[in-house]
Amino acid sequence: MTEQVSYSGPQRIFSGIQPTGNLHLGNYLGALKKFADLQDAGWEGIYCVVDLHAITMPHAKGALADQTRQIAAAMMAAGLDPDTSTIFVQSSVRAHTELTWIFNCVARMGWLEKMTQFKDKSGKDSERASVGLFDYPVLQAADILVYKATHVPVGEDQKQHLELSRNIAARFNQQYDVPGFFPLPEGLIEGPGARIMSLKDGTKKMSKSDPAETSRINLIDDTDMIAKKIKKAKTDTLGDMPETMEEMAPRPEVANLVGIYAALAGMSDEQVLAEYGGKGFGTFKPALAELAVEKLSPITKKMREFLDDPAEIDAAMAKGAEKANAVAAPIIEEVRRVVGFWQV
Ligand code: AQP
């Protein structure tokens, strides 16, 4: 959908991460690192541990709060500063769920039926999936728009959901005749690390829910484990490291390892190939392992320090919830007026 009148409010970032298990290298490069870089570049940012999203799939009730703290610790360890950015837990700001309901009445069934993540996550037995899983992208749209966020840093897997958020925003503005009321949020997707693939299958994204532990590098993996997983990462039988991008194109597993190296080192794929092209994996894999350990271990260390003091994490999240609520509350009040609910 296109808009006649564009949004003229402040530029603001929103993004979230689910507390659904151990964070991995894909979450770090596709999300956490970007968040910290954007904060350091001066963006106003609102970052959220999306626990309401986490309950759309079967989950252990007892684990939810601990996993929420782990994500909060990872956000801070990756460089998000709770005094500069807003970091909080989704379920502590009620406006997210209120706006979700309103958006449920704006979004169309046909739009949601096209969402590939629902198809992937519900599998063959979609009849038994929760309604929440189907509605997941509407909650995501509410997360973003309850802050009138204009930009959303995410990995490439979230592109389709972001498009849906834009459609919901445009439809709301049109349906209630409030042109430019909600911004049409734009993705900040490009760049190294936007799509890190499984270490076992170069065509499948690295994911927390992949049952194969060796498919991903977790942020909490120790040095030996990282080296072991990279050593065991799948390559192919097409010989040594490619020397050009053309040679690398039909080799998804190799392209993934090169992409990981590039994202961690702040280099382009071409620069990595210039350095390692023609060399054996016996040379490249240990270099990659060393680089991954060098970049990840300070974050892991900080994360563990935060986790040793859960009260400090909880205090930071409580403060973040207050800040988030101060932005969301007037926006949800405006929405209520626009929709025309009875008001006292
Ligand atoms: N493989 C990836 N490469 C780059 N970015 C990725 N992200 C996830 N996987 C990759 C980005 O990480 C952010 C947080 O993701 P999430 O935890 O909210 O949900 P997700 O995308 O569903 O992540 P997972 O690991 O695949 O979790 P499960 O297995 O629970 O579904 C998002 O910005 C995402 O783009």
Residue 61 annotated among the catalytic residues of the structure: no
Amino acid 331 reads: I
- Residue whose CB lies within 8 A of the most ligand 1 atoms, among 56, 122, 157, 210, for a mutation test: 157
Task: For residue 208, name the pLDDT band (cuts at 50, 70, 90).
Answer: confident
121, 159, 295, 319: the active-site residue: 121
Mean pLDDT score, 283-290: 96
Q: Which long-range contacts (CB under 8 A, 24 or more apart) does 68-72 make?
A: 68/19, 69/307, 69/310, 69/313, 69/314, 70/19, 70/22, 70/23, 70/303, 70/307, 71/17, 71/18, 71/19, 71/23, 72/306, 72/313, 72/316, 72/317
Residue 47 φ/ψ, nearest 5 degrees: -125, 135
Ligand 1 centroid to Cα of residue 16, in Å, is 10
pLDDT of 181 > 90? The answer is yes
Q: What is the mean pLDDT of the chain?
A: 95
Convert the pLDDT of each residue in 299-315 to its tens digit. 999 999 999 999 999 99
Mean pLDDT score, 285-312: 95
Return the HEC string of 193-239: CCCCECCCCCCCECCCCCCCHHHCCECCCCHHHHHHHHHHCCCCCCC
33, 34, 148, 205: the active-site residue: 205
Q: Which CATH number fits domain 213-304: 1.10.3720.10, 3.40.140.10, 1.10.10.1100, 1.10.240.10?
A: 1.10.240.10
Residue 208 annotated among the catalytic residues of the structure: yes
Task: For residue 21, name the pLDDT band (cuts at 50, 70, 90).
Answer: confident
Among 21-25, 195-199, 245-249, whose mean pLDDT is lowest?
21-25
Task: For residue 344, name the pLDDT band (cuts at 50, 70, 90).
Answer: confident
Residue 200 annotated among the catalytic residues of the structure: no
Mean pLDDT score, 29-34: 93
Ligand 1 centroid to Cα of residue 103, in Å, is 23
Of 163, 129, 165, 168, which is closest to residue 144 (Cα–Cα)?
A: 165
pLDDT of 192 > 90? The answer is no
Give the pLDDT confidence score for residue 185 in this predicted structure.
97
* Closest-lying ligand 1 atom to the alpha carbon of residue 50: 18
Give the pLDDT confidence score for residue 4 in this predicted structure.
64
Where are the domains positioned within the chain?
13-188+310-339, 213-304
Among 44-48, 60-64, 265-269, whose mean pLDDT is lowest?
60-64
Task: For residue 59, name the pLDDT band (cuts at 50, 70, 90).
Answer: confident
Residue whose CA is at the smallest distance from ligand 1 atom 14: 17
Give the pLDDT confidence score for residue 306 in this predicted structure.
95
Ligand 1 centroid to Cα of residue 152, in Å, is 14
CATH 3.40.190.10 for domain 13-188+310-339, yes or no, is: no
Convert the pLDDT of each residue in 78-132 to its tens digit. 999 999 999 999 999 999 999 999 999 999 999 999 999 999 999 888 899 999 9
Task: For residue 3, name the pLDDT band (cuts at 50, 70, 90).
Answer: low
Residues with CB under 6 A from ligand 1: 17-18, 20, 26-27, 29-31, 154-155, 157-158, 193-196, 205-209
Among 103-117, 165-179, 204-218, 314-328, whose mean pLDDT is lowest?
204-218
* Closest-lying ligand 1 atom to the alpha carbon of residue 197: 1
Q: Indicate the pTM of the whole model.
A: 0.92
> pLDDT: is 95 or 156 the higher one?
95
Residue whose CA is at the smallest distance from ligand 1 atom 24: 207
What CA–CA distance (Å, rounded) separates 318 from 324? 10
> pLDDT: is 193 or 326 the higher one?
326
- Residue whose CB lies within 8 A of the most ligand 1 atoms, among 25, 27, 35, for a mutation test: 27
* Closest-lying ligand 1 atom to the alpha carbon of residue 157: 35
pLDDT of 2 > 80? The answer is no
Convert the pLDDT of each residue in 221-250 to its tens digit. 999 999 999 999 999 999 999 999 999 999
- Residue whose CB lies within 8 A of the most ligand 1 atoms, among 207, 218, 219, 264, for a mutation test: 207
Q: Map residue 295 onto helix, strand or coil.
A: helix
Number of H helices, E strands in the chain: 15, 5
* Closest-lying ligand 1 atom to the alpha carbon of residue 154: 33
Q: Map residue 139 onto helix, strand or coil.
A: helix
Q: What is the DSSP string of 168-185?
A: HHHHHHHHTT-TTSS---
What CA–CA distance (Å, rounded) separates 144 from 141? 5
